[in-house]
Structure 1
């Protein structure tokens, strides 16, 4: 349930000279022709909501305030600063304590509305952006937010933040304060039309409270932000409690009406999923985003669920399912050959696993943008896609280009003989042969063996079934379960052969794709390019996606990227739920309308007692 809600944070302070916010060698671009100020910005098209809108359409503007909600999270934490790669970060900092310049609508693909920056000015070519700060904006200690804090936040995250921040913010050629409440960013790459929105989502840190020299150190000292909550209590590794700031500066803004209704929000951490579920059963946790179909199908047969004190809902979600898969670390010799990776895809018996373990509730994932118009699965490439891919003739398999490719299916029995035979033929072509019931490389004598790194024992059943199928044709795989801290450390340094991982997606994928698939981050610790993708075609498709000016070009670029990734066989695609499975105690209420991205706890409330 850790993915139920959140992540994020930052902090520091330093002096603000214009030169400090600018790469030393970057020229100062000429000013671009400005458009008029506006209250919002969309990646493509126009914002849905006009100036002066009352509230987002998926909230209840008059929702009651008060009460407490307790949420569960898995694992542990030892850091309140998730903007760095060190440590195990805590839930909720970014969502409740640290605010961005602008607020994202959850009911549009990618649209931002005024928050700390009440207005934004962007030229048509999006080569720069100017943010006009709300003069009322304050940190929770009462200090006004000024241009100095914005420039400070950009500089510290660019130089010392996580790799994704460094990648995004280094695209700024010039950053300057036009006055105390106006900040202008000019971009070195005018082809990346997402950059104004990326800067709009930049978290704003209090420059007067943070020591830049210690920013990259883990910390358990409560951070200060400008958001609706303050940190009230921290029990390292066990819980964190947020309390609503009664003096929150932005409580009456349109983007905040009907949100942040709880007086207190608490996250309790559990090392085992069974203990977390038991805490929900007994009322120690108030809400659960269920990710276990076996529990959803059979686990809610207890008194509180039977008598209606707990409500269960299947909530429709319209954003892509993303990709959950068993990830090949292609940096490792064992997975360097794509024929080996493709063979192992054939050996995963989804139909039997889904029926036996998950009550048939999952659907097989066939695309990195599954469940959306951005998916290339079962769809032939259009003329735009073919033009984009033309310089990379070997990057996409013919069957993926023409839309006839299907993820291998089995007959639903535990044997999977047809697919196993195909896999063995692929492995023979890759130089392997069976000797003494072990698959070994003909030239080197090296056996085909690898380790699957797992974060918890709940993964062992699925992984164990896969390991058993591998053994049938002489492949030796072993499962290694490590604690959450060690798991995160090994992921940061790509110290694994295979992992199970989920890359979520939205209807407006953008710069985060660089952090997942670009050659430039493949060897940089802390990125999400766990597969080690170094593919010029993927780099080019991401660039085309970021430069797209209309929906047609954007969709074609995303589908082309999807085809490149599928053709590379970088993961064994697993599965996804058809909806969000949400269980909550009846004392909680929520709006009738659900946004495109699914339910969000910050619009829920405690029902008043009659």
Structure 2
């Protein structure tokens, strides 16, 4: 089946967001919690709107991944774990409905309670909640998990934990967290923390990488694995949550398997041969002309387009501004001009997908064209000393004529570089006043063939400016380690962004994350304006203020010139075995977390 884009798609998401006014929360425990207002679904909802409660049960799905894994603990810095471990085997107190901007409903917790100030949150566990070994999920497990993640887990868990003033058991199945400061998102963030079994880690350190599967309370257990090559998850037959309304129509496969390959081209060949059942196509040109292999022609493989209403996010080549070479915004702007987007896009993808204009583009949260106006301008003006050109006046990416030469933009790049102190010597090598040559390395993950093709075109353009660039492709483990330690000059970055940006923004581009290993602030952004806007996001009490603040943040990030943006697609292009089916109702976030494999099923 092919899902078609609705002509009212973006009007619908705008209406959904603006309908969420700052309605005071009802007193007492509730079945769910929303960032603003109340949950859309009533306590007795039968199933999530996007789920098919009549979906057949059984069968399997086989995914293909590029890279490998050497750990089965995805919650710590050490090692690389398969994505499916957290997704399939571990539960959280609350679960997200991806058909609402940011609303959570009870999963391990039967109820959640907070107040208008949101200075505390209290969860009451379901009596029937069980780990996969049959032991009950207890308040002690919850409290231990929160502290272990917040102190020894990945950095993304630390910020929220630092805002917890106290936690206490308030009953045999209830636990309360009191916060140190105002942050409307904190109750939701704690609701999404994975809950692990304390007893499993009594005899071994939590932060040590291990191939022992974590004991979770999710619908699947690790059925078998070969490190770096494959892992299989099998449905837990007596899973405690099988009759929960939140999960009606979800987790329908009996078996989910991930196969790992060293190269995307090899993976695609395995998909064509039927060894892998699913392929997410990121290239519009290939989508149009490369699906003439036998299994596609026979109908064994079908193509589906899944629309979405989420922001474009940011994908591109990111500058590491910790390097002196990229500390000057004029240098970054010059290298953005040198990237011939129109020619690259036409060469690589046929030019069908639009360029990413800003981090939250394609959504109601994205910056608008032209100068900042109204509430957005009022938010930005007090921060003007920390803003780069374009934040208030208006900014857009350079556009080329599509030719290989890209002469006008290269002339602009040369002028910007000269302004920043870089001039070509008699041999055509770009140098600064101290005689240092302009040279750097682009770090890529091994097997990223399409990105390598993009970089090759870019490197040639930079050579014409007198810049020497080396491309280094390393294996998945090395790439992960080097990016975690920020050991690169430039690399490929992908940041998926949601309609409910919050505390994760600190990890993406907050100053406190710039020098903390393992965060996602690859560019090394340190800007008081960004920090102030993230703070404002977390304390906004109305949807209007939230949207204006996000648009202001989008302007500061985009005019920071941290990334050479590539393209995005307003639809996800999925090729898959025809026996794999999905519901006709597509969630607001489309093909994103919460869609596949959760909502899909196998049908002969």
TM range (shorter): over 0.9
Distance apart, 1:399 and its partner CA: 3.5
Secondary structure of the structure 1 residue equivalent to 2:52: coil
Correspondence 1:332 to 2:328: no
- Kept in 2, the 8 Å contact 1:156–1:212? The answer is no
Distance apart, 1:394 and its partner CA: 3.1
Correspondence 1:516 to 2:512: no
Correspondence 1:262 to 2:258: no
Distance 1:438 1:43 in 2: 56
Choose the corresponding residue for 1:101, options 71, 90, 93.
Answer: 93
Paired residue for 2:263?
Answer: 272
Choose the corresponding residue for 1:500, options 492, 495, 498.
Answer: 492
Paired residue for 2:583?
Answer: 591
Distance 2:38 2:498 in 1: 18
Choose the corresponding residue for 1:79, options 64, 71, 96.
Answer: 71
Distance apart, 1:419 and its partner CA: 0.4
TM value normalised by structure 1? 0.92
Could you list the runs of 4 or more consecutive aligned residues of structure 1 that deviate by over 6 angstroms after TM superposition? none
Secondary structure of the structure 2 residue equivalent to 1:540: helix
Correspondence 1:416 to 2:406: yes
Distance 1:308 1:371 in 2: 33
Distance apart, 1:222 and its partner CA: 1.7
How large is the Cα RMSD of the aligned pairs? 1.4
Paired residue for 1:221?
Answer: 212
Paired residue for 1:547?
Answer: 539
Paired residue for 1:444?
Answer: 434
Question: What are the superposed Cα offsets for residues 374-404 of structure 1, whole Å, 9 maximum, x if unpaired?
Answer: 110415434322232223213334534244x
Q: Would the alpha carbon gap of residues 504 and 212 (structure 1) be closer, same or farther in structure 2, given more than 3 Å must change?
A: farther
Distance apart, 1:212 and its partner CA: 7.2
Correspondence 1:383 to 2:374: yes
Distance apart, 1:213 and its partner CA: 5.0
- Kept in 2, the 8 Å contact 1:80–1:219? The answer is yes
Distance apart, 1:456 and its partner CA: 2.5
- Kept in 2, the 8 Å contact 1:34–1:121? The answer is no
Secondary structure of the structure 2 residue equivalent to 1:438: coil
Correspondence 1:303 to 2:299: no
Distance 2:558 2:120 in 1: 34
Unaligned runs of 5+ in 2: 1-24
Choose the corresponding residue for 2:142, options 146, 150, 161.
Answer: 150
Choose the corresponding residue for 1:347, options 338, 344, 349.
Answer: 338
- Kept in 2, the 8 Å contact 1:293–1:359? The answer is yes
Q: Would the alpha carbon gap of residues 397 and 308 (structure 1) be closer, same or farther in structure 2, given more than 3 Å must change?
A: same
- Kept in 2, the 8 Å contact 1:140–1:224? The answer is yes
Q: Would the alpha carbon gap of residues 188 and 439 (structure 1) be closer, same or farther in structure 2, given more than 3 Å must change?
A: farther
Correspondence 1:245 to 2:236: yes
Distance apart, 1:297 and its partner CA: 2.3
Distance apart, 1:296 and its partner CA: 1.5
Q: How many residue pairs align between the two structures?
A: 574
Choose the corresponding residue for 1:435, options 387, 400, 425.
Answer: 425
Distance 1:605 1:531 in 2: 40
Question: What are the superposed Cα offsets for residues 548-594 of structure 1, whole Å, 9 maximum, x if unpaired?
Answer: 11111001111111111112111111111231000111111111111
Distance apart, 1:522 and its partner CA: 0.7
Choose the corresponding residue for 1:129, options 121, 124, 142.
Answer: 121
Secondary structure of the structure 1 residue equivalent to 2:271: helix
Secondary structure of the structure 1 residue equivalent to 2:481: helix
- Kept in 2, the 8 Å contact 1:454–1:482? The answer is yes
Paired residue for 1:565?
Answer: 557
Secondary structure of the structure 2 residue equivalent to 1:520: helix
Distance apart, 1:603 and its partner CA: 0.8
Distance apart, 1:169 and its partner CA: 1.3
Q: Would the alpha carbon gap of residues 323 and 452 (structure 1) be closer, same or farther in structure 2, given more than 3 Å must change?
A: same
Question: What are the superposed Cα offsets for residues 171-190 of structure 1, whole Å, 9 maximum, x if unpaired?
Answer: 11111111221010011112
Paired residue for 1:3?
Answer: none
Question: What are the superposed Cα offsets for residues 49-81 of structure 1, whole Å, 9 maximum, x if unpaired?
Answer: 111100001011011101111111110100111
Paired residue for 2:599?
Answer: 603
Correspondence 1:371 to 2:334: no
Paired residue for 2:470?
Answer: 478
Secondary structure of the structure 2 residue equivalent to 1:391: helix
Distance 1:436 1:578 in 2: 47
Paired residue for 1:426?
Answer: 416
Distance 2:203 2:367 in 1: 45
Question: What are the superposed Cα offsets for residues 263-297 of structure 1, whole Å, 9 maximum, x if unpaired?
Answer: 00000011111111111111111111212334312
TM value normalised by structure 2? 0.93
- Kept in 1, the 8 Å contact 2:131–2:217? The answer is yes
Secondary structure of the structure 1 residue equivalent to 2:145: helix
Distance apart, 1:303 and its partner CA: 1.5
Distance 1:120 1:402 in 2: 45
Correspondence 1:406 to 2:396: yes
Distance 1:107 1:163 in 2: 28
When structure 1 is superposed on structure 2, of 41-50 and 462-471 the one drifting more is 41-50
Distance 1:583 1:226 in 2: 31
Distance 2:380 2:181 in 1: 22
Distance 1:576 1:442 in 2: 36
- Kept in 2, the 8 Å contact 1:175–1:185? The answer is yes
Correspondence 1:456 to 2:428: no
- Kept in 2, the 8 Å contact 1:396–1:563? The answer is no
Unaligned runs of 5+ in 1: 1-32
Distance 1:587 1:287 in 2: 11
